[in-house]
Amino acid sequence: MTSALSRRTALKAAALTATALFAPRLSRSVMAQDGEPFDPGGRVKVDYDETVSFNELLNNPPMLGRSESWRLRIIKELDERSDTVRTVKYDEVLPIYQALHGVAPAALDHNDIYFDVGEGYIHSSYVVPVREMFQEPEETFDKGFWGEISVPTSWQHWEPKLRSRRYFDLAYGTVYRVIDRVNEVDGRAWYRIVNDLSPSDEWWVQAAHVRRIPKSDFDPISPDVPPKDKQVIISIGDQLLHCLEGERVVFSTRIASGASFFDAQGQAHAFGTPWGDHYALRKSPSRHMIGGELIDDIYDLPGVPWCTFFTDSGAAIHGTYWHNDYGHPRSHGCVNVTSDAAKWIYRWVNPVTGYEVDAYYTPGEQRSIATSISVGL
């Protein structure tokens, strides 16, 4: 994981092409402007033109997928024992033409879904479906607004310009508070976004990569249902989450709950999702989550979207952009769901929070209306 890896290899030919072709315009075309090479750095060492359109390069496929692992195999047949076409690297963007059932790897037998990527098939567990929707930069801000990354991958820069140092690659669907706009000399617009762990940090992202989240996306779901009739049931055994209104299930989704991990000495550390009866303690549209030092499995995840916390230790139901593998335990204690599912749950769970609220802590006087969240077998 320390080697310098090329960002991606692009399919430039039409759908179902048998051979992947290298796309040289993805290599340092931005970084070498003015005839001088420039290394922008970054937590992940990948090179590509940050102005690229993956839809254009991949001939506008029905869906795109972002690789979230360092070595994924594209195979010839829908069977993990099939021959390898090539290996996909972290952060590569692939076309997705359809999803199909196949013979899953033994370690992932809970998930038999593969994606047809034109040149073969790839297991879906570490390929997150994404879209690419470029945005018209906002002219006015007032108090700022909530925004989400609307392209497969963007970058957090330390200055509002392409030729500047960067660090985090910002994944599709991550959410941030936008508080300012600056234009480069060439007119390119940049937004300043808030890192909630250190709000004074200068974090900048291309404005065309950020969709303004409308206030209506924060409107509560089923506000007329009595609060006492709403409850969330999380089944660790089935790896399912259900939202109930009275006795009626109104929403269900697969989850990835907390698991056990092993440190360098082989000692097991349990990070199971806390069992028992809880309630919605805190809600945040976005949270920068870090941890994992104890087991040498450090994670540093900005912009985790639509977080509903239910324990003082930080266990939450939240959106997930770093894997697409639901149906078995794999988290550090939280309940991983897709970002769309997390957003629905966030809006449905009481208490209701406002658009301007970065983090809402359930006060004592609202304890009686806070949605119960029960975790069990």
- pLDDT (tens digit, 9 = 90+) per residue, 68-101? 998 999 999 999 999 999 999 998 999 999 999 9
* Mean pLDDT value across the chain: 89
Within 13 Å of residue 314, how many CA atoms lie on the same side as its CB? 9
Among the residue ranges 41-45, 83-87, 168-172, 305-309, the one predicted with the least confidence is: 41-45
- pLDDT (tens digit, 9 = 90+) per residue, 194-220? 999 999 999 999 999 999 999 999 999
For the residues 303-330, what does the mean pLDDT come to?
A: 97
- pLDDT (tens digit, 9 = 90+) per residue, 26-66? 434 444 455 677 888 898 877 778 899 999 999 999 999 99
Q: Which residues contact 292 (CB under 8 A, 6 or more apart)?
A: 298, 299, 332
User: What is the C-alpha separation between 318 and 316, in angstroms, rounded?
Assistant: 6
For the residues 151-166, what does the mean pLDDT come to?
A: 96
Map out the domains of the chain as residue ranges.
24-127, 145-213, 219-376
- pLDDT (tens digit, 9 = 90+) per residue, 100-131? 999 998 888 899 999 999 999 999 999 999 99
Q: What CATH fold (topology level) applies to the domain 219-376? A: L,D-transpeptidase catalytic domain-like (2.40.440)
- Specify the CATH superfamily of domain 145-213: SH3 Domains (2.30.30.40)
How many C-beta neighbours within 10 Å does residue 210 have? 29
In sequence order, what DSSP letters do the residues of 149-209 get, joined into one string?
E-SSEEEEESSSSSSS-EEEEEETT-EEEEEEEEE-TT--EEEEE--TTSTTS-EEEEGGG
pTM: 0.89
